[in-house]
Structure 1
Amino acid sequence: MKKTFIVGIVSLLLILLMVYAALAKLNDYDNFRFGLGESPIIAPFAGILEWAVPATELLIAVMLSLPFLRLAGFYASFVLMLLFTLYIIVMLSFYDDIPCSCGGVLEEMSWGVHIAFNLVFVLLSAWGIMLEKKRRRRPPILHSSAASPPVLN
Structure 2
Amino acid sequence: MKAGLISFSSQRYQRVIAILLILLWAYSAVDKLTDFPKFRLELGKSPLISGFQNVVAVIVPLTELTVALLLRIKKTVIPGLYASFALLSLFTAYLVVILNYSYYIPCSCNGLMASMSWSAHIVFNIVCLLLTASAIVIPDYDQRKGGAISVA
TM-score higher than 0.5: yes
* Aligned residue identity for 1:117: F
Residues 1-150 of structure 1: matches in 2 within 5 Å? 2-134=9-141
Give the number of the structure whose alpha-carbon radius of gyration is greater.
Answer: 1
RMSD across aligned positions (CA): 1.7
TM-score, normalization: structure 1? 0.84
Which protein has the bigger helix share? 1
Q: Secondary structure at the match of 2:52?
A: helix
CA, structure 1 residues 137+27, in 2 after alignment: closer, same or farther (shift >3 Å)?
A: farther
Q: Deviations over 1:61-120 (max 9, x none)?
A: 110111111110000000101100100100111113201123332122110001001111
C-alpha distance in 1 between matches for 2:80 and 2:145: 20
CA contact (8 A) 2:45 2:104 kept: no
TM-score, normalization: structure 2? 0.84
CA, structure 1 residues 85+94, in 2 after alignment: closer, same or farther (shift >3 Å)?
A: same
Q: Deviations over 1:103-150 (max 9, x none)?
A: 3321221100010011111111111111343467689xxxxxxxxxxx
CA contact (8 A) 1:21 1:104 kept: no
- Structure 1's unaligned 5+ residue stretches are 140-153
